[in-house]
Amino acid sequence: MSEPILLTGAGGKVAAMIRPYLLAHFGAVKLTDLRPPEALAPGEEFHQADLTDLDQAHAVAKGVRGIVHLAGLPGENTWDAVLDASMKTTINALEAARLLGIERFVFASSNHVIGFYPRSERLDGNERMLPDSRYAVAKVFGEAALSLYADKYGMRTLSIRIGTAIDRPRNVRELSTFHHPEDIAQLIAIGIEHPDVRNDVVWGISDNADAWWDNGRAEALGYKPRYRAADFADSLPAGTASGDLADLLQGGGLTSLEFDGDPNLWGANALKRD
């Protein structure tokens, strides 16, 4: 049997949703986190590590064929917390991979790297990033770090800009951002195995008719999402078109959180000034 993959942030919510699919696909998965996950299945083993420490990251990454990096703080937090738990952990996981000659690295990035684009715009991933939070700045940093390790050290990297990891959309925004855990696992498998992955960024969404994002690169890499947000649309409560920033912009609530700017000059509007 081939070497396991390493899943960081394995005690967290997204990991709990995707672990069964990763195990079914890869057969062996090494899990790491500050805290142990609930229960281990045959084929999974857990190693506790604090990834803010390079030695611990290096020790836990030994003997794996690729790293799937989920560890971090989801949602907004202080700069100190973001620097440590989201940025330092990413650097240490990448550095451990480089030192150990691990060729594949998949990163749980986020749609919030482009949060300040209006929902009326369709993005292909090549536009300038407009992060909507300190959380999102850590994801911009992570994508840039993966790019560096790909170009400079020949690592094969995939950043997945996950929309909303959930088994069914719960509101109107999630009709656009829904990413079923099985589809997340499919993209991760592409990141670990596809021969054409080099230095790539894809959108983490299922087959969503209302998506704001063109996922052409993922499709070119063979991604065929199994789930469609539209299949759940009927069960959703009616949308609330409040006209608030959070409802106009792709990042939703993280855009309006702490917002103290000029409401006419945010994000993409500001870019259009001459």
Give the residue numbers marked as catalytic.
135
Looking only at residues 93 through 112 of this chain, which bind ligand NAD when binding is defined by CB under 6 A?
A: 108, 110
Q: Give 2-31 as a 3 state SS string.
A: CCCEEEECCCCHHHHHHHHHHHHHHCCEEE
Contact between 74 and ligand NAD per CB under 6 A: yes
Identify residue 108 by its one-letter amino acid code.
Answer: A
**Cβ-based neighbour number of residue 62 at 10 Å:** 14
Contact between 7 and ligand NAD per CB under 6 A: no
Looking only at residues 146 through 165 of this chain, which bind ligand NAD when binding is defined by CB under 6 A?
A: 162, 164-165
> x/- contact string, 126-145, with ligand NAD (CB under 6 A)?
--------------------
Tokens of 188: 């991760």
- Closest residue to ligand NAD, Cβ-based? 12
Contact between 71 and ligand NAD per CB under 6 A: yes
Tokens of 156: 């094969």
In whole angstroms, how close is the CB of 106 to ligand NAD at the nearest point? 11
> x/- contact string, 24-63, with ligand NAD (CB under 6 A)?
---------xxx--------------xxx-----------
Q: Which residues contact 115 (CB under 8 A, 6 or more apart)?
A: 130, 131, 132, 133, 136, 249, 250, 251, 252, 254, 255, 267
In whole angstroms, how close is the CB of 167 to ligand NAD at the nearest point? 11
Are 36 and 19 in contact, with CB atoms under 8 Å apart? no
In whole angstroms, how close is the CB of 209 to ligand NAD at the nearest point? 20
Contact between 202 and ligand NAD per CB under 6 A: no
Size of residue set near ligand NAD by CB under 6 A: 23
Q: Which residues contact 111 (CB under 8 A, 6 or more apart)?
A: 161, 162, 163, 177, 203, 204, 213, 250, 251
Are 46 and 32 in contact, with CB atoms under 8 Å apart? yes
Contact between 80 and ligand NAD per CB under 6 A: no
* Binding interface with ligand NAD (CB under 6 A): 9, 11-15, 33-35, 50-52, 70-72, 74, 85, 89, 108, 110, 162, 164-165
